[in-house]
Amino acid sequence: MRIDNVETIKDLARGAVLLGTGGGGDPYIGQLLLQQEVREGRHVEVITAGELDDEALVVSVAGVGAPTVLVEHLQAKGVCRSLLEKMEKHLGRKVDAIIPAEVGGLNSIIPLALGAQAGLPVVDGDGMGRAFPHIEMVTYSVYGSRACPMVIENELGDSIIIDHATSDRKVEDIARVVTGALGAMVYSALYPMSGADVKKKAILGSMSYCLEIGRGIREARAECDDPFDGLMKILNRPEIDRHARILFDGKIVDINRETRDGWHFATVAMRGLDNPDEAFVIETQNEYLTARKNGEIACIVPDLIASLDRETAEPVTGEKLKYGQRLKIIGLSAAAIMRRPECLEVFGPAAFGLTDSFTPIEELA
């Protein structure tokens, strides 16, 4: 799949916001970088994992930190190339392909922009099938790949390499404080893996899914009275193990936001439009973690919760939510691999301090 035009990029970014499940960073800046590449005649080739040599060196590239800071720092171009060069120098070999760490939001677009700049293919896959707030919350880590060596750099050229850590959770702790010292938003290259690793450990097809969603929303606006009709036909396809449901249709009546320990925490309260007695609450740590309707769990991490404008079905990130906004909230099933016990241990409810256990969206009525 070749990404070489602005419409495709916009579709992809729209899908990325939905899979970002409230977080993942607004892909707007990433879009601009990628559009610039395309306008200058470059393109990026998105390849399937199957096309990789087993011995290929594949590296993830991601922004780390407070996404709101990014908007003021559109200098990512030089930084990302330098990340690859430093990783190559440290490992003593060339990088063959890039793979996103997460598919949601900004971090699905940054790898594509870098792929176009560096002439490297980007693998159609990622390690979350969504966005998560921690570096260790990827299938790569659950199945034995290591985040280190991880190269971190800011737009001033300050750079560090986390060479070795006793756990990927420790990498997260180090990266979090380093990010603070380097100015709250940094770029990173991490999880160097072999092609064989990627084939076994990645969530495959997540970039195409992103594009399918974003394009589907655009087409549904033209073709359907209610664009959600078209969108749900894509998201809810039980025959290929995709489950989705509109959880709520209402407006925001209260938002509590707090930035703590480098994360953005929020509680969003909504009321039903038709039935004002219906109460709906979303809990957030960068990304949406739980949705409760009248106190009962309606969707819970790692399943995805997405907030969309109720008229246009445009996905909206959590940081853009505001009082009075009218939204439809959708619950989506996570990829099957994400629901395995060893994965739930790392990014299931308990990993976020929640006492609720995981129940798949298709079993919650």
Nearer to a copy of itself, 48 or 159 (CB): 159
**Cα 233 to chain centroid, rounded:** 22
* Window 257 to 286, contacts with a copy of itself (CB under 8 A): none
Residue 77 corresponds to which tokens in the numbers above? 């171009």
Measured CA to CA, the distance from residue 318 to residue 67 in angstroms comes to: 11
Closest approach of a copy of itself to the CB of residue 134, in Å: 14
Measured CA to CA, the distance from residue 145 to residue 168 in angstroms comes to: 9
Residue in 156, 257, 294, 336 binding a copy of itself, rule: CB under 8 A: 156
84: amino acid identity, one letter: L
Residue in 160, 244, 270, 338 binding a copy of itself, rule: CB under 8 A: 160
How many residues in the chain? 365
The contact pattern for a copy of itself, residues 79-118, with x = CB under 8 A and - = no contact, is -------x---x----------------------------
First to last CA, the chain: 37
Asked if 184 interacts with a copy of itself (CB under 8 A), we say no
Asked if 61 interacts with a copy of itself (CB under 8 A), we say no
The contact pattern for a copy of itself, residues 115-154, with x = CB under 8 A and - = no contact, is ------------------------------------x---
Closest approach of a copy of itself to the CB of residue 258, in Å: 22
101: amino acid identity, one letter: A
Closest approach of a copy of itself to the CB of residue 160, in Å: 5
- Contact between 182 and 158 (Cβ < 8 Å): yes
Nearer to a copy of itself, 169 or 221 (CB): 169
Taking alpha carbons only, the member of 78, 114, 67, 75 closest to residue 95 is 114
Q: Which stretch binds a copy of itself (CB under 8 A): 171-179, 197-205, 300-308, 326-334?
A: 171-179
Which residues are registered as beta bridge partners of 292?
281, 297
- Contact between 217 and 313 (Cβ < 8 Å): yes
Closest approach of a copy of itself to the CB of residue 74, in Å: 19
Residue linked to tokens 């939001």: 105
Measured CA to CA, the distance from residue 80 to residue 112 in angstroms comes to: 11
- Residues with Cβ < 8 Å from 35, sequence gap 6 or more? 6, 9
Which residues are registered as beta bridge partners of 268?
255, 282
Question: Phi and psi at residue 258, in whole multiples of 5°?
Answer: -150, 135
Residue in 137, 182, 235, 268 binding a copy of itself, rule: CB under 8 A: 182
Q: Which helix (H) or strand (E) holds 58?
A: strand 57-65
Nearer to a copy of itself, 146 or 201 (CB): 146
Size of the site for a copy of itself (CB under 8 A): 23
* Window 186 to 205, contacts with a copy of itself (CB under 8 A): none
Closest approach of a copy of itself to the CB of residue 142, in Å: 21
Integer-rounded Cα Rg, in Å, for the chain is 19
Nearer to a copy of itself, 165 or 211 (CB): 165
Closest approach of a copy of itself to the CB of residue 139, in Å: 23
Question: Phi and psi at residue 334, in whole multiples of 5°?
Answer: -75, 165
Q: Which stretch binds a copy of itself (CB under 8 A): 120-128, 178-186, 274-282, 319-327?
A: 178-186
Residue in 110, 165, 301, 329 binding a copy of itself, rule: CB under 8 A: 165
Residue linked to tokens 């973690």: 289
Residue 158 corresponds to which tokens in the numbers above? 């300050």
162: amino acid identity, one letter: I
Residue in 53, 54, 72, 163 binding a copy of itself, rule: CB under 8 A: 163
Residues that bind a copy of itself (CB under 8 A): 86, 90, 151, 156-166, 170, 173-174, 176-178, 180-182
